[in-house]
Structure 1
Amino acid sequence: MASWVLSASGLKPLPSAFPRPGVGAVYRDSLSKPRFLRPAATGSDLNIRFSSTRSSSRMRASVPFQVASVEEEEEEPNFNDAIGEAEPPAGFDPGAPPPFNLADIRAAIPKHCWVKDPWKSMSYVARDVAVVFGLAAAAAYLNNWIVWPLYWAAQGTMFWALFVLGHDCGHGSFSSNHKLNSVAGHILHSSILVPYHGWRISHRTHHQNHGHVENDESWHPLSEKIFRQLDSATRTLRFTLPFPMLAYPFYLWSRSPGKSGSHFDPNSDLFVASERKDVITSTVCWTAMAALLVGLTFVMGPMQMLKLYGIPYWGFVMWLDFVTYLHHHGHDDKLPWYRGKEWSYLRGGLTTLDRDYGWINNIHHDIGTHVIHHLFPQIPHYHLIEAVSASFAPLCLTLCYRQSLKEENKATFYTTKLYCKVGFFGLFPLNLNEFLLVCVDGSC
Structure 2
Amino acid sequence: MVARPVKFSPAPQEMEQDEDFDASARPPFTIADLRAAIPKHCWERNAWKSMSYVIRDVAIVLALAAAAANMNSWLLWPVYWFAQGTMFWALFVLGHDCGHGSFSHNKTLNSIIGHLTHSAILVPYHGWRISHRTHHQNHGHADNDESWHPVSEKQLKRMDWLARSGRFKLPWVMFVYPMYLWGRTPGKEGSHFDPSSPLFAPSERKDVITSTVCWGAMVALLAGMTVAAGPLWMFKLYFMPYWINVIWLDLVTYLHHHGYEQKVPWYRGKEWSYMRGGLSTIDRDYGLFNNIHHDIGTHVVHHLFPQIPHYHLVEATKAAKPILGKYYREPRKSGPFPVHLLQPLMKSLQEDHFVANEGDVIYHQRDPTI
TM-score scaled to structure 2, two decimals?
0.91
AA aligned opposite 1:307:
K
Deviates further, 114-123 or 219-228: 219-228
1:218 CA drift (Å): 2.3
Matches within 5 A, 1:176-187: 176-187=105-116
1:105 CA drift (Å): 0.3
Other-structure match for 2:334: 424
Aligned counterpart for 1:392 among listed residues 314, 321, 327: 321
Deviates further, 158-167 or 92-101: 92-101
Q: Distance in 2 between matches of 1:416 and 1:215?
A: 23
Other-structure match for 2:342: 433
AA aligned opposite 2:256:
H
1:62 CA drift (Å): 2.6
1:441 CA drift (Å): 2.1
1:64 CA drift (Å): 6.7
Q: Distance in 1 between matches of 2:101 and 2:339?
A: 32
Other-structure match for 1:133: 62
1:265 CA drift (Å): 0.2
Q: Distance in 2 between matches of 1:141 and 1:43?
A: 52
Aligned counterpart for 2:171 among listed residues 218, 242, 248: 242
Other-structure match for 2:95: 166
Other-structure match for 2:183: 254
SS in 1 for 2:189: coil
Contact 1:351 1:416 in 2 (8 A): no
When residues 94 and 284 of structure 1 are mapped into structure 2, their CA distance, relative to the original with a 3 A threshold, is closer
Other-structure match for 1:405: none
Contact 1:117 1:175 in 2 (8 A): yes
Matches within 5 A, 1:298-313: 298-313=227-242
Matches within 5 A, 1:83-122: 95-122=24-51
AA aligned opposite 2:342:
N
The superposition leaves residues 90-133 of structure 1 with CA deviations (integer Å, 9 ceiling, x where unpaired) of xx976431101100000011111101000000000000000000
Q: Distance in 2 between matches of 1:317 and 1:416?
A: 28
1:428 CA drift (Å): 1.3
Q: Distance in 2 between matches of 1:105 and 1:199?
A: 28
1:331 CA drift (Å): 1.6
AA aligned opposite 1:62:
E
The superposition leaves residues 159-188 of structure 1 with CA deviations (integer Å, 9 ceiling, x where unpaired) of 000000000000000000000000000000
Other-structure match for 1:355: 284
User: Do structure 1's residue 289 and structure 2's residue 218 form an aligned pair?
Assistant: yes
AA aligned opposite 2:148:
W
AA aligned opposite 2:155:
I
Deviates further, 199-208 or 228-237: 228-237
User: For the aligned residues, what is the CA RMSD?
Assistant: 2.0
User: Do structure 1's residue 62 and structure 2's residue 8 form an aligned pair?
Assistant: no
Contact 1:358 1:429 in 2 (8 A): yes
1:392 CA drift (Å): 2.2
User: Do structure 1's residue 207 and structure 2's residue 169 form an aligned pair?
Assistant: no
Larger fraction in helix: 2
When residues 138 and 95 of structure 1 are mapped into structure 2, their CA distance, relative to the original with a 3 A threshold, is closer
TM-score scaled to structure 1, two decimals?
0.76
Corresponding pairs, count: 351
Other-structure match for 2:361: none
AA aligned opposite 1:428:
F
Aligned counterpart for 2:118 among listed residues 176, 189, 199: 189
Q: Distance in 1 between matches of 2:52 and 2:22?
A: 47
Q: Distance in 2 between matches of 1:242 and 1:324?
A: 16
When residues 44 and 436 of structure 1 are mapped into structure 2, their CA distance, relative to the original with a 3 A threshold, is closer
Contact 2:139 2:274 in 1 (8 A): yes
Q: Distance in 1 between matches of 2:199 and 2:78?
A: 38
Q: Distance in 2 between matches of 1:45 and 1:361?
A: 26
When residues 286 and 63 of structure 1 are mapped into structure 2, their CA distance, relative to the original with a 3 A threshold, is same
AA aligned opposite 1:416:
Y
Contact 2:290 2:297 in 1 (8 A): yes
Q: Distance in 1 between matches of 2:265 and 2:100?
A: 25
Q: Distance in 2 between matches of 1:283 and 1:354?
A: 32
Q: Distance in 2 between matches of 1:61 and 1:118?
A: 37
Aligned counterpart for 1:341 among listed residues 255, 258, 270: 270
Q: Distance in 1 between matches of 2:252 and 2:278?
A: 16
Q: Distance in 1 between matches of 2:344 and 2:193?
A: 32
Contact 2:165 2:173 in 1 (8 A): no
The runs of 5 or more residues in structure 2 that have no matched partner are: 353-363, 365-370
Other-structure match for 2:360: none
Contact 2:42 2:309 in 1 (8 A): yes
Q: Distance in 2 between matches of 1:98 and 1:165?
A: 32
Contact 1:64 1:332 in 2 (8 A): no
Contact 1:114 1:380 in 2 (8 A): yes
